[in-house]
Amino acid sequence: MQTGTMPIFTAIAVILISALAGGRLAMLCRIPRVTGYLLAGLLVGPSFAELIHIPPLVTQAALKEMKLVSDIALALILMNIGSQLRSENLRRWKQRIFIFSFTESVMTGLLVGTAVFFVSEWLVRHSVVGLSLTQSSLLFAIFTGTISIATAPAATLMVVREYEAEGPITSAVLTLVGLNNLFSVFVFSIAVQLLVAPGGGLLSVLYQLLVPVLLGGLAGLLLSVLAHRMELPSEHKILLLGGVTSVAVISRMLGLEPLLSCLVLGIILADSSPRWHRLVKALNEVDYPLYVVFFVLAGANLHIETLTHIGLLGVAYVLARTAGKLVGGRLGARFGGFGQREQSWVGMTLLAQAGMAIGLAGTLAKLWPDGGRLVETIVLGSVVIFELIGPLAVRHGLVHAGEVPLLALLRKRAPQSGMEGLHDIANHFRTNLGLPVGRKLQDPGDILVKHVMRHNVETIHHGTGFQELLRIIAHSRYDRFPVVDADDNFIGMINYTEIRNLLFDQSLAGLLVARDLVTSQISAIPPETPLREALKLLQKKRDISYFPVVDPAQPQKLLGILSQNDVLAAFRRLGPDQ
């Protein structure tokens, strides 16, 4: 092995081992593994080593060489987040999701911009050469305000995947993350070209905005055509990795940030490809290690020293952005006509901030060195805070919204102690030599339904018309739909089969509402039912994949939904092979 490559190989080894240790420690502490990966990267990176005066395990030179891995991972994540903006998802909420996103984004930008302006104008009094104090403060306010809107797609997506969050709020959060970043990039590009870029103007704005959209759109259509001609999952993996990397490379060659290009790629590919879900499934089989490395590298690149440099402007940025996301999320949900759960918890899930904000701040520092470097310092310092608390906030919001099964929150314990594990390994080895020995673990069927079910359920009002019912079904993954009356009392389920039969009789369809399709023969189960019994019920009723969970003392109270997939996943996770 050549001496020049040793730092890279050493860095890869350290990153993977520290990621494993950080992930395990995070599970023991019952925090998101993303936070564990970030902390692991922070501890092995140069910033922490410099703070305690020891040689870094991962050097700055190695981090620079491995930036390519981070760029590819971020491009994949942005493509995935972009797919949440496909027309199918947007039609589900119609204009309501845009009202939500616009309100939350504007509130965040205004609060941050106002706070930074007044702190700069009255307390810090920092002015840029060639500009008055007020002009400098105003530019600081505009750029910090637009950057503050951006939300970290990587941390949000990883927490959703880790805790198996699923439901209307999870879908809304991922869609809002995409809209936030689109809004932030568009406003930032316009502001930077008109206010500080040398030779900037309308043509520069159009170039920075339209070319990435065209590039991402064309690439999305091309990948869609190619995917339609491929059958093997291995080909789908290679196609997505190659396509996303190519878009990022071409964007760099054209002097563009690949952020917008990759977002648009995800939007167009998800909208145009009939095989999008197969593509995502294939990619999910290989992308996790890449994302893990991305987060460890992100932690290693965090600059602890910037915390001492951000000063009053940084404190104003952190406090105002936190308030903006929380208050803006509540107001956006209210103005958009969303429910109480969305009003209470969505804002918290949008606190994470990292790569997107760092990229925008870095671009500003290159185009406007005098003032941009101060903005970059503020953003880098605040990212240390938001990157560490962001995943915790995402998890907290999704858990309290009822879209994380309780089983996913339990600490994953090893099936045996250390000595028992060694004994089991020895027995397994003896079995392979022809000596049958072994032991069985306790049956996971003892777990209760309430620990696995989804608490946040999207219900249908009993007066919903047939055409509106069809629209709801088109955006749902379920085959049975709970119906509630005007007082939110559970009155029964609608079977997809009944709806399908009515599609052939349009004369009746125009007269029907949801309560006319409710079946009285429903298989509801109480929350204290062991999974063993739930599995038996699923085996008896093979035509049903979802069951309502109700309180036996109050049968009209719907507590949640139990899906066949969640039951099987619980047995798979906690079975004797784990």
Q: What is the pLDDT of residues 336-346, one digit of tens each?
A: 988 888 888 99
> Does one domain contain both 459 and 396?
no
> Does one domain contain both 392 and 505?
no
Query: Which residues of the chain register pLDDT less than 50?
Result: 1, 411-417, 419-420, 436-441, 576-578
> Does one domain contain both 397 and 541?
no
User: How many residues are given for the chain?
Assistant: 578
Number of domains in the chain: 2
> Does one domain contain both 220 and 154?
yes
Domain end position, chosen among 386, 404, 422: 404
Do the domain assignments include residue 221? yes
Q: What is the dihedral sign for C-alpha 547, 549, 552, 554?
A: negative
Do the domain assignments include residue 33? no
Q: What is the dihedral sign for C-alpha 358, 360, 363, 364?
A: negative
Amino acid 577: pLDDT: 47
Q: CB 37: neighbour CB atoms within 10 A?
A: 30
> Does one domain contain both 64 and 176?
yes
> Does one domain contain both 469 and 321?
no
Domain end position, chosen among 381, 404, 427: 404
> Does one domain contain both 378 and 466?
no
> Are 181 and 259 contacting, i.e. CB atoms less than 8 angstroms apart?
yes
Amino acid 417: pLDDT: 46
Do the domain assignments include residue 57? yes
d(CA 150, CA 376): 14
> Are 390 and 351 contacting, i.e. CB atoms less than 8 angstroms apart?
yes
**Residue-wise over 283-312: b if at least 16 C-beta within 10 A, else e?**
beeebeebbbbbbbbbbbbbbeebeeebbe
Structural domain that includes position 506? 445-574
* Secondary structure class of 482 (helix, strand, coil): strand
Domain end position, chosen among 378, 404, 430: 404
> Does one domain contain both 224 and 353?
yes
Distance of CA 341 to the CA centre of its chain: 18
* Secondary structure class of 491 (helix, strand, coil): strand
Rg of the chain's alpha carbons, rounded to an integer? 26
Amino acid 117: pLDDT: 93
Residue with tokens 């023991």: 28
Per residue, what are the HEC states of 199-226? Answer: CCCHHHHHHHHHHHHHHHHHHHHHHHHH
Q: What is the dihedral sign for C-alpha 37, 43, 44, 48?
A: positive
> Does one domain contain both 359 and 457?
no
> Are 453 and 559 contacting, i.e. CB atoms less than 8 angstroms apart?
yes
Q: At what angle do helices 6-28 and 287-300 cross, to 10 degrees?
A: 100
* Token representation of residue 25: 């420690």
CATH number at residue 107: 1.20.1530.20
Q: CB 271: neighbour CB atoms within 10 A?
A: 19
Compute the C-alpha angle 115/120/121, nearest 5°. Answer: 100
Do the domain assignments include residue 262? yes
